[in-house]
């Protein structure tokens, strides 16, 4: 005998995955993992300074390549999204804005896009020199 509660929760799980709250949750986790990966990569590059000036200069030449420098704009987007969505979650923890979850999610996305656009505008002349 199947419980009607069990049956409705299965349908609700499939439906929940399409809501903005689920996407906000997923993007927060993915951005967090990407930031941790970047941190380890950053530490690895900085650690090349232990091998001497030549090794560090070689590593810097690689990371200063225009393509990799342009990826810094992607890093800025990831950091901004993670931060703005984190503030959204903190507001929910304080009981603020719970009824406006979708609007706050889209606000955090809009602020991320605006911040990334500003960073790109300021960075592109430095990258394309």
What's the CATH number where 48 sits?
1.20.1300.10
Tokens for 116? 């990334």
Q: How many residues does the chain have?
A: 129
Tokens for 73? 């704009």
80 in Cβ contact with 111 (< 8 Å): yes
117 found inside a domain? yes
Helices (H), 1-65: 4-16, 20-47, 53-63
pTM above 0.85, yes or no: no
Q: Give yes or no for residue 48 having a pLDDT over 60.
A: yes
Q: How many domains does the chain have?
A: 1
Angstrom distance (rounded) from CA 62 to CA 34? 20
Please write the tens of the pLDDT for every residue from 59-75: 888 888 888 878 899 99
- Chain position carrying tokens 């030449």: 61
66 found inside a domain? yes
121 found inside a domain? yes
């Amino acid at each position: 005998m199947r419980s009607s509660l069990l049956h409705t929760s299965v349908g609700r799980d499939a439906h929940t995955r399409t809501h903005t709250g689920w996407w906000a949750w997923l993007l927060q986790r993915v951005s967090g993992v990407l930031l941790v990966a970047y941190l380890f990569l950053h530490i690895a590059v900085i650690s090349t300074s232990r091998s001497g000036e030549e090794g560090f200069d070689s590593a810097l030449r690689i990371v200063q390549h225009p393509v990799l420098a342009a990826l810094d704009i992607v890093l800025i987007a990831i950091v901004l999204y993670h931060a703005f969505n984190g503030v959204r979650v903190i507001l929910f923890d304080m009981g603020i804005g719970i009824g406006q979850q979708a609007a706050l999610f889209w606000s955090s996305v809009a602020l991320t896009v605006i911040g990334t656009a500003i960073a790109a505008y300021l960075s592109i002349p430095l990258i394309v020199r």
